[in-house]
């Protein structure tokens, strides 16, 4: 392929040109949230809200390339739990680079032994995810959380292990603001 440039709108997260656009609704990630009853209620009341969208750069998912994607997580909660991504490992245990572009978020990361690390993601912050660390991004603000993620072309997302084992911590809204709480 030949070199190209793409325009990144930091406020909206819109990437031009982009190859694919992903839209993840609550009904597609029910198992991720602790409060199943609140999720069902929200789907009934809000008509299955879009939790997040993503735009992929037109880069081949092959060894040697760097693929990148913007994600836009809407503000909101399922019960006390903030809207968030499904979360995943990468099949090759490859590293990933995140850049906050708008809004306020937390990245919940855990390694294969279950060690937990939480980092804030805001427009002035980059987060490095080392090989072997699963990651999930949580929108703890009142506006869209927008960020960029860059990773090796052959990294491939592995959702199955997180769907099976879950994360050891959840981010919940409390009277004192967002709190990271160990999962039951
Ligand atoms: O690769 C990444 O970490 C991101 O680009 C995510 O894929 C994106 O934020 C969407 O989250 P998930 O893949 O967990 O649905
Ligand atoms: Mn990733």
Q: Could you list the pLDDT tens digit for every one of the 184 residues in the chain?
A: 999 999 999 999 999 999 988 999 999 999 999 999 999 999 999 999 999 999 999 999 999 999 999 999 999 999 999 999 999 999 888 999 999 999 999 999 999 999 999 999 999 899 999 999 999 999 999 999 999 999 999 999 999 999 999 999 999 999 999 999 998 7
| pLDDT, position 87 | 98
CA 32 from chain centre, in angstroms, equals 12
Question: CB of 18 within 8 A of CB of 57?
Answer: yes
> Does the C-beta of 139 come closer than 6 Å to ligand 1?
no
CA distances from 9 to 6, 60, 78 (A): 10, 22, 28
Distance, in Å, from the CA atom of 178 to the CA atom of 120, rounded to the nearest integer, reads 12
Count of H helices and E strands in the chain?
2, 17
Helix (H, G, I), strand (E, B) or coil at 136: strand
Beta pairing, strands 105-110 & 134-139 = antiparallel
- Judged by its nearest atom, the ligand closest to the C-alpha of residue 91 is 2
| pLDDT, position 98 | 98
Q: What is the whole-number distance in angstroms between the Cα of residue 175 and the centre of ligand 2? A: 31
Average pLDDT, the chain: 96
Taking the whole predicted model, whether its pTM rises above 0.95 is answered as yes
| pLDDT, position 21 | 87
> Does the C-beta of 155 come closer than 6 Å to ligand 1?
no
| pLDDT, position 28 | 96
| pLDDT, position 183 | 87
Strands (E), the chain: 7-8, 15-16, 21-25, 50-56, 66-73, 77-78, 81-82, 89-90, 96-102, 105-110, 116-121, 126-129, 134-139, 145-152, 157-158, 169-174, 177-182
């Amino acid at each position: 392929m030949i070199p190209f440039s793409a325009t990144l709108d930091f406020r909206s997260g819109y990437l031009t040109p982009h190859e694919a656009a992903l839209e993840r609704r609550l009904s597609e990630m029910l198992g991720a949230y602790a409060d199943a009853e609140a999720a069902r209620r929200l789907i009934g009341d809000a008509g299955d809200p879009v939790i997040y969208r993503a735009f992929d750069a037109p880069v081949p998912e092959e060894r040697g390339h760097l693929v990148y994607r913007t994600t836009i997580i809407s503000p909101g909660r399922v019960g006390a739990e903030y809207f968030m991504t499904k979360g995943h490992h990468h099949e090759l245990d490859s590293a990933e680079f995140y850049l906050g572009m708008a809004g306020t978020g937390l990245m919940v990361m855990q390694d294969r032994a279950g060690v937990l690390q939480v980092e804030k993601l805001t427009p002035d912050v980059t987060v490095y995810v080392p090989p072997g660390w699963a990651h999930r991004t949580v929108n703890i603000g009142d506006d869209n959380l927008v960020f960029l993620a860059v990773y090796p072309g052959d990294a491939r997302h592995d959702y199955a292990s997180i769907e099976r084992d879950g994360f050891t911590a959840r981010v919940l809204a409390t009277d004192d603001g967002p709190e990271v709480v160990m999962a039951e």
